[in-house]
Amino acid sequence: MLSLDPLGPKWDCPLGSKVLEDEEGPWGGDSGLPPPDDFPGSWRLDVGLDCKGSPEGAEARAWTTYYYSLLQSCLQQAGLPETQDRSQVPRTGCPGAEVTLCILGSPSTFWSVLLEGGVQSPGNMLLCLSPAWLTKVPAPGRPGEAALLVSKAVSFHPGGLTFLDDFVPPRRATYFLAGLGPRPGLGQEAAELARDLTCPTGASAELARLLEDRLLTRQLLARRGGVAVPATLAFTYKPPALLRGGEASPGLRLVELSGKEGQETLVKEEVGAFLRSAVLGDALQVAVKLSGWRWRGQQALRLHPRAEVGAVADTVLASLEKLEEEESVSVEAVCPPARLPFPGNAPAGPALAVRICAVVCRTQGDRPLLSKVVCAAGRGDRPLRHQNSLPRTLEVVLAQCGLGEEAQVAVFRRRVKEAAEAALAAVLALEAGLSAQQRGGRLAGTDFLGVDFALTVAGGALIPVALELNSGLCLEACGALEGLWAAPRSRSATEEAAAAAPLVETMLRRSARCLMEGKHLLVVGAGGVSKKFVWEAARDYGLKLHLVESDPNHFASQLVQTFIHFDVTEHQRDEENAQLLAELVRARGLQLDGCFSYWDDCLVLTALLCQELGLPCSPPAAMRLAKQKSRTQLHLLRCQGPPWPAPSLYAVPCCPLESEADVERAVHQVPLPGVMKLEFGAGAVGVRLVEDASQCRQHFSKIAHDLQGEADHPGIGLGWGNSMLLMEFIEGTEHDVDLVLFGGRLLAAFVSDNGPTRLPGFTETAACMPTGLAPEQEAQLVQAAFRCCLGCGLLDGVFNVELKLTRTGPRLIEINPRMGGFYLRDWILELYGVDLLLAAAMVACGLRPALPTHPRASGHLVGVTGLVSQHLQVLSSTASQEALQALHERGLLRFNQFASLEEVRGPGEYEEPYCSVACAAPSLAEARLRLLGLCQGLGIDGPHYPVAHFLSHFK
């Protein structure tokens, strides 16, 4: 029940043991030429496979033609159109400004990645069929590193459309993934191309040599990952440094040899002790094999009954002669097939052997995520090999073994998930301790891993035993399963997404970092405590920030490249100030790539400044329109033309209030009850439900007296004045939609749900993400938010739109023409791996953000806000900043602080939230229960702050 790749050079042992071996190399023979082109198909081959300036020899050209035909065969079998050759009209593009995901390798191996990339980033997933289509050029300012340029490739688009393209000038790769290994074709040249690049690489020859050393990876999995591996005895000759030292692992014994000869006594003693030991469990056979980069996928396997101690020892001794430095000979237990109870009579014949392929990907924060599981089944007395067995789902195979009970299958799937993710975690931990040279480059890292498991029984329980790590083989098996005609009809809830989906998301995420590293951005307005993450993220991304801020003592002034002290609060002079700031920027010689702001007060000034400096931004008129709440609604009410549905369908009747006379007029124009709020307000300060004309007059008078200017309540927009508006009160649930727009196109949208507010005020109490709404309702909210932004002229940027979902559809509350505040950026990054800050920075630089088309949430977050007026005592004791931060670091909750306690002290009727406390879980119900228990334990829940009520919408 061993998982074997296609095997290669034979090693001779003059013994009568059972020998299992495959052909030489993937295709047989060692000529270095591809197999005969015998694909059944009628596609054209008179296409432009030659790359100008990089002629290929006959052998290289044969491989290029072979891979092109293989690609057409894959397209044909998937029911997709033949590749269109448009290389005669080169693509011009914007070199250096585009996401360019480049794969060099076999189309069949990376098939699922290529198709998924064409969906998530149309036209940016490129397949190179020859190393000659790529060029490395020295990178300025990066000694020893090179940029990778793509001159020709097959580009992938939605619907499986493919085009053979030339690029003039060449596109600069922002991510590179190559098929590596000691095999014919592209391996050696690909390894050289992948080394020391300025763009991220998902594999390197250096890492492949480590991960494809079976002995090293087993030691790594057993020691660091706690993953079950077959009991193994290994004889090593001058082992690599990574194999030396460390604690011994149960069932894994390494014997270091001083030489390859004269080891008879030692080998016989060690083999005898191993075969008689209890670590082999119920294994009846052992396998003897060579381990090391040279032998990976190119070895014969010899099986022996466990009782034949002498024969095993002789096989080991004979094979020692073949060893070179850093290689080993291993004796390992052959995991016995799991014999499960069958309903009725057990079937005749040998037990069913099962191999499990798990693909696990690196996601946001270097966290492993199981992407897909594929299984193969065969006779228990024969090894199962990749590409020689049919792919099936785990549920189908377990049912064939007699395990069909849903709960038991779920338990075993969880064990596979835990083991596979632990395997990648162990690999990432190993890589973190390696130098750039050892990894093959500063940005080289393992982004996905295939883990082969055997299904066996130990201690009365079904367990997955890790046999080996690979990359393309498991990925190819998953792609084969996804390509089945019936697959869309038979997928279970756990098998919804393509195996490559998380990998492509990681490619895009790392590409964004590549594109933005070293960019110079001007930030207007530093914000408060809630925006501390900006400076940490900028350092992590390699951004060069220059800050314009009114407070000369702001902590951020010490964290930026350039600090410009300038009063940005006089908004009546925004146009004049924009000109003055532009002169200051030029005088300092700043070479800016972009300029943006995430602070409400500075959005119009920022748009005007971008206009002065010729930098990308939404028009100042659009920013002014979105900034003033009544103008937003009244303008959208007039947007009634096609295409339908028009923005007017989402707008809410309202009336601006500048004087008491306006109030008297408004109560006759706007249906009551209504909502009164500040025109330029933020944080729901001063927002109130008014039932009648008397309450309208009272609230207008109170605001006019209490909140006259910036000094009365800093940071909520009073620098723009304290005018108000009255709008109709809309019944329904409240939601936030955070959008990323580029060139008027919607790139991403994230919907969250808000809990009921504490009327008559509207301060936020609770939230959850992702939304619990039905998909149709979620789509309605996204469409409403998108169309309202377009209606106001907001075409480029990251925007936060607040809406209510009524019984007749979405209605607009307001548009915030900047990144969502409070916890939203943090939650979206945690759940979806998408950083709105980085997306906003990319748009500001005129770059299309590198985002997945439909990012999937990795779980659920449910949170409540903390208010000083309600929680001052617990915020000073059980729920202090230090206590909440400690729980956050332990992963028990997510803590987002919005301000210091001093900043939010004051009258409760005008207060802003102090913080958010949230819990994560795989399901919404579980996250809700965890949070309720946490709030009760910390004292946040109470009679005057009923958390259960605030969470009541999230069911």
Pairing of the two strands 232-237 and 175-178: unpaired
What are the tens digits of pLDDT across the range 931-951?
Answer: 999 999 999 999 989 999 999
* 600 pLDDT tier (thresholds 50, 70, 90): confident
Residues 6+ apart with CB under 8 A from 847: 97, 515, 516
> Is the fold of 522-596 the same as that of 618-652+731-852?
no
CA–CA distance, 100 with 135 (Å, rounded to integer) = 14
* pLDDT at residue 908 in the model: 61
What CATH code would you report for 352-484+497-508?
Answer: 3.30.470
Whether 543 shows a pLDDT value over 60: the answer reads yes
CA–CA distance, 907 with 763 (Å, rounded to integer) = 13
Query: Per the structure block, which two tokens stand in for 258?
Result: 């001083």
* pLDDT at residue 484 in the model: 67
* pLDDT at residue 181 in the model: 56
Pick 107 or 908 by higher pLDDT. 107
162 contacts 153 by C-beta, under 8 angstroms? no
Cis preceding-peptide flag for 673 (omega within 30 of 0): yes
Whether 11 shows a pLDDT value over 50: the answer reads no
* pLDDT at residue 637 in the model: 94
Query: Per the structure block, which two tokens stand in for 232?
Result: 């193994």
* pLDDT at residue 706 in the model: 86
178 contacts 190 by C-beta, under 8 angstroms? yes
* pLDDT at residue 770 in the model: 97
CA–CA distance, 665 with 783 (Å, rounded to integer) = 33
* pLDDT at residue 692 in the model: 92
* 22 pLDDT tier (thresholds 50, 70, 90): very low
CA–CA distance, 742 with 749 (Å, rounded to integer) = 12
Whether 490 shows a pLDDT value over 50: the answer reads no
Mean pLDDT of 277-289: 89
3-state secondary structure of 847: coil
* 336 pLDDT tier (thresholds 50, 70, 90): confident
- Residue 661 has phi, psi (to 5 degrees) of -65, -35
Task: Indicate the DSSP class of residue 259.
Answer: -
* 771 pLDDT tier (thresholds 50, 70, 90): very high
CA–CA distance, 660 with 664 (Å, rounded to integer) = 7
What does the angle CA 94 – CA 97 – CA 103 come to, to the nearest 5 degrees?
A: 95
- Comparing C-alpha atoms, which of 758, 804, 772 is closest to residue 913? 758
CA–CA distance, 484 with 83 (Å, rounded to integer) = 21
Whether 657 shows a pLDDT value over 50: the answer reads yes
* 904 pLDDT tier (thresholds 50, 70, 90): low
* pLDDT at residue 907 in the model: 57
* 586 pLDDT tier (thresholds 50, 70, 90): very high
CA–CA distance, 441 with 852 (Å, rounded to integer) = 26
Give the homologous superfamily in CATH for domain 653-729.
ATP-grasp fold, A domain (3.30.1490.20)
Whether 388 shows a pLDDT value over 80: the answer reads no
Mean pLDDT of 845-855: 90
What are the tens digits of pLDDT across the range 40-92?
Answer: 777 888 898 988 877 788 888 888 999 999 999 999 988 899 999 999 999 98
Q: In this prediction, what percent of the chain has a pLDDT beyond 70?
A: 91
Query: Per the structure block, which two tokens stand in for 341?
Result: 């109870």
What are the tens digits of pLDDT across the range 207-221?
Answer: 988 887 888 888 889
Whether 177 shows a pLDDT value over 70: the answer reads yes
* pLDDT at residue 14 in the model: 39
* pLDDT at residue 3 in the model: 34
Buried b (16+ CB within 10 A) or exposed e, 187-202: bebbbebbbbbbbbbb
Query: Per the structure block, which two tokens stand in for 682?
Result: 């933020």
Residue 521 buriedness (CB in 10 A; 0-12 / 13-18 / 19+): buried
Mean pLDDT of 794-802: 96
The CATH architecture annotation of domain 618-652+731-852 reads 2-Layer Sandwich (3.30)
3-state secondary structure of 61: helix
CA–CA distance, 858 with 831 (Å, rounded to integer) = 5
Whether 488 shows a pLDDT value over 70: the answer reads no
Mean pLDDT for the chain?
87
Residues 6+ apart with CB under 8 A from 93: 167, 171
- Which residue is associated with the tokens 């594929």? 374
- Residue 103 has phi, psi (to 5 degrees) of -120, 130
Task: Indicate the DSSP class of residue 91.
Answer: B
3-state secondary structure of 214: helix
* pLDDT at residue 245 in the model: 65
Query: Per the structure block, which two tokens stand in for 794?
Result: 């907001």
The full set of domain ranges for the chain reads: 58-199, 231-333, 352-484+497-508, 522-596, 618-652+731-852, 653-729, 859-954
Q: In this prediction, what percent of the chain has a pLDDT beyond 90?
A: 58
CA–CA distance, 82 with 72 (Å, rounded to integer) = 6
Whether 341 shows a pLDDT value over 60: the answer reads no
E-only strand ranges, 157-300: 162-172, 175-178, 232-237, 252-257, 285-291
Mean pLDDT of 620-625: 95
3-state secondary structure of 504: helix
* pLDDT at residue 107 in the model: 93
Whether 477 shows a pLDDT value over 90: the answer reads no
Mean pLDDT of 654-675: 92
Calculate the CA dihedral of residues 132, 135, 136, 140 and round it to 10 degrees: 170
* pLDDT at residue 188 in the model: 79
Whether 274 shows a pLDDT value over 90: the answer reads yes
- Comparing C-alpha atoms, which of 36, 35, 17, 16 is closest to residue 27? 35
* pLDDT at residue 232 in the model: 92
Beta-bridge mates of residue 749? 739
Pick 421 or 530 by higher pLDDT. 421
Residue 242 buriedness (CB in 10 A; 0-12 / 13-18 / 19+): middle
Calculate the CA dihedral of residues 491, 493, 494, 499 and round it to 10 degrees: 50
Give the homologous superfamily in CATH for domain 522-596.
NAD(P)-binding Rossmann-like Domain (3.40.50.720)
- Which residue is associated with the tokens 């009782």? 307
- Residue 463 has phi, psi (to 5 degrees) of -140, 150
